[in-house]
Amino acid sequence: MRIFLAAALVALAAPAFTPARADEFTKADLELWRKEYMAAVDKGRGVFTDPKLGTNGVVCAQCHPNGSNIHPETYPKFQKQMGGVVPLWVMINWCIQNPLEGEKLAPDDPRMFAIQTYITHERRGVKLDPGKH
């Protein structure tokens, strides 16, 4: 309780650095979020070039330099392999299972988040076009 009060007093003394409202955020917040995002991009690049992601040493970047020819902006779309409309992560698992001869990742696996972050980052600036082939 004492700590909480102390924190509240600090907050009152320096409102510019610790916003109390949900609709307020600072430059420091933006920098932090950017840093976190770029860390996720870097982590994704690491997974994308990790020979241990599959079982045969083949890496994603071998066929997809700079994450190209994945076109994340075109998902969800019909994938012939799946016989239906799927989001990008399902297609990523197809690649892990087939060219990489590996085990698929859970959709909430942190590596799956990271791969998608990297792929999407490399395609930034391209407009969304779901369903396009």
Partner 1 sequence: MVKTLSRRALVKGASALAAGGVLDMTLVKLAFGAPSGAGDFTFAYISDSHIQQIEGGKFVRNWDRGLKRAVAEANLLNPKPDFVMFGGDLAQLGKKEELDHGLDLLSPLRYDVKYVLGEHDYYLDLGEYWADKISKHYYSWDHKGVHFIVLNSIIVDEAWTNKWATPMERMLVMAGLDDPRGSPFMVGEKQRQWLAADLAKVPKSTPVVVFSHSPLQKIFKNWNFWTDDAEEVQALLKPFSKVTVIYGHVHQIQYNQIGAISFHSVMATAWPWPYPETYAQEGSLLPVMTVPMNRADPFHERDATGWQFVDVHTGNVALSYSLPDNSPRVVAYDEKLKRPRDLQYSERTIPPHMHY
Q: Which residues bind partner 1 (CB under 8 A)?
A: 49, 55-58, 61-66, 68-69, 71, 79-81, 94-95, 98-99, 101, 122-126
Pair of tokens at residue 7: 């924190």
Closest CB 96 distance from partner 1, rounded Å:
12
Q: Spell out the residues 6+ positions from residue 131 whose beta carbon is closer than 8 angstroms to its own.
A: 74, 76, 77, 78, 85
Phi then psi for residue 6, to 5 deg, are -60, -45
Task: Decide whether 2 or 125 has the Cβ nearer to partner 1.
Answer: 125
| Under 8 Å between Cβ of 81 and 71 | no
Task: Decide whether 40 or 61 has the Cβ nearer to partner 1.
Answer: 61
Task: Decide whether 26 or 62 has the Cβ nearer to partner 1.
Answer: 62
